[in-house]
Amino acid sequence: MNLNISLFVPELFLVSSAILLILLDLFLPSRGKNGLFSTITFAVTCVAVVLVALYSPFSPQEAFNGFIKKDLLSALAQLLILFTLLLTVLVSYDYIEKFPTGYVGEFYYTLIFAALGGMLMVEANELATLFVSLEVMSISIYILMALFRGDYRGKEAALKYFILGSIGAAVIAYGFAVLYGITGSTLYPEVSSSLNSNFSVAALIGIALVLSGFLFKVGAVPFHGWMPDAYHGAPTPVTLFMGASVKVAVFVALLKLFFPVFLPAFERWDEAVLIFGLVSALFGAFAALEQENFKRMLAYSSISHAGVILTAVATLPALAVYSVFFYLFAYTFMTIAAFGIISLLTVKGFKGENLTEWRGLYGRSPFLALLSVVIFMALAGIPPLLGFWAKFYVLVALIKAGKVLPAVIVMLASLISLGFYLKPIVFAFMKEGREEGVPVGFSSYVAVFISSFILIILGLFPEVVSQASLVSLASFIKGTM
């Protein structure tokens, strides 16, 4: 039996830490719990980052008899998820200070479980492992959305996200069941081998079901349903975490499943992925134009970004892994910064969610107004920020794959997005508003500043992310041979 436990050290550490936090939560009084739990969670995440770096194999390795396969693509995705967790903890500390909840301990250790689910998803090499880890992440996020007492908007968001997520999970489970029935195995290599030797209509139905379930999870059109309501209603730190980490986990898991296992049927599903991607990119951009609420605008924007990433997935096997990872890297920090600045500005009487509340922000807090320029221009894909390079490499991947018209449509969606990303900047710099300063929390400020700094520096030196994407691509390809 090949357990190879050493590959699983970071995950075991996170599980043990979360369980210790549960026990600690039973005995500690409520007073001061936010500071203590946020500090412990931050420290635990830092240690987990070091462990992932130390225990990541340069050559792909398997654990638990092939149920888990870790390569540099999964390791880098895990680091992105953990970095999202770190910055979410910083933003959450200030948010909970402003909006107290009776479930402080629950909030922090549920965040750890959500990150753990995402980390397991990106290293899954077996259908049941992928499904269980997907649900660990999803259920943790449903709980996080509903943890603030008296926040009925959050509870409504949790219910809607739960219904959406449940439908997606059921569809994926049906797809996996069909594939297991055809191939007699749930391990990726054995499913792939069986499909290579005998591909049938039933296999295509199974792939279609799995693809539909994943589209539910990333909120692509026409499966976006209540996604904007969920983003709008959830507490802002939770929206930040799920906006960034869920996309990283789901898209990397999608690549690791579809590339080695479903590649024999590539010509049958790539056009469908491309069409879903293009429709999502355009629909999200047009719908966001009409929004006056920032969180809803960013929700529709996330649908548009999911569409752009899907178009990159449809270029398999050429530059898909490279361009998808680059885009996910940039999107993670853009999402953290965007939702982080909303959370940072949220105080009593100034929620920062509506456009009108951004009137005269430059006069009240010039540095935050300038940071907002960096964040929204990065999301729009304006050079030299990191968001520009993310879109650039997706366009290169599409053109290299001979998909010129889809590349033009992605560019059109990016141009439309300028219309809504410019709105907050216009309100912040050109509209008169209140003159009093904006009180901000230090830890949220640090999170937004770090994310914005990365968008600028790595935009000036994109070769750093480019090299990381190439290394992850090489490691992933080596693992599929």
Cα atoms in the Cβ-side hemisphere of radius 13 Å centred on 217: 32
Name the most confidently modeled range: 44-48, 235-239, 269-273, 313-317: 44-48
- Contact at 8 Å (CB) between 395 and 463? no
d(CA 81, CA 345): 24
- Tens of pLDDT, residues 430-448: 877 766 666 667 888 899 9
Q: Give me the pLDDT at residue 324, please.
A: 92
- Tens of pLDDT, residues 181-201: 999 999 999 998 888 888 788
pLDDT (average), residues 241-258: 91
Strands 61-63 and 68-70, sheet pairing: antiparallel
Q: Give me the pLDDT at residue 352, please.
A: 61
d(CA 404, CA 348): 49
* Chain center to CA of 86: 14
pLDDT (average), residues 240-266: 87
d(CA 161, CA 234): 10
Q: Give me the pLDDT at residue 471, please.
A: 86
Q: Tell which residue, 14, 71, 73, 78, has the closest CA to residue 52.
A: 78
- Tens of pLDDT, residues 305-342: 999 999 998 887 767 888 999 999 999 999 999 999 88
- Tens of pLDDT, residues 364-421: 888 888 999 999 999 999 999 999 999 999 999 999 988 999 999 999 999 999 988 9
Which DSSP state fits 28?
S
d(CA 208, CA 180): 14
**Full-model pTM:** 0.94
Q: Which helix (H) or strand (E) holds 272?
A: helix 266-289
Q: Tell which residue, 253, 271, 252, has the closest CA to residue 204.
A: 271
Q: Tell which residue, 72, 75, 67, 12, has the closest CA to residue 44.
A: 12
Q: Tell which residue, 130, 131, 163, 157, has the closest CA to residue 144.
A: 157
- C-alpha distance from residue 448 to each of 90, 292, 336 (Å): 10, 22, 7
Q: Which helix (H) or strand (E) holds 61?
A: strand 61-63
Q: Give me the pLDDT at residue 434, please.
A: 65
Least confident of 63-77, 277-291, 322-336, 435-449: 435-449
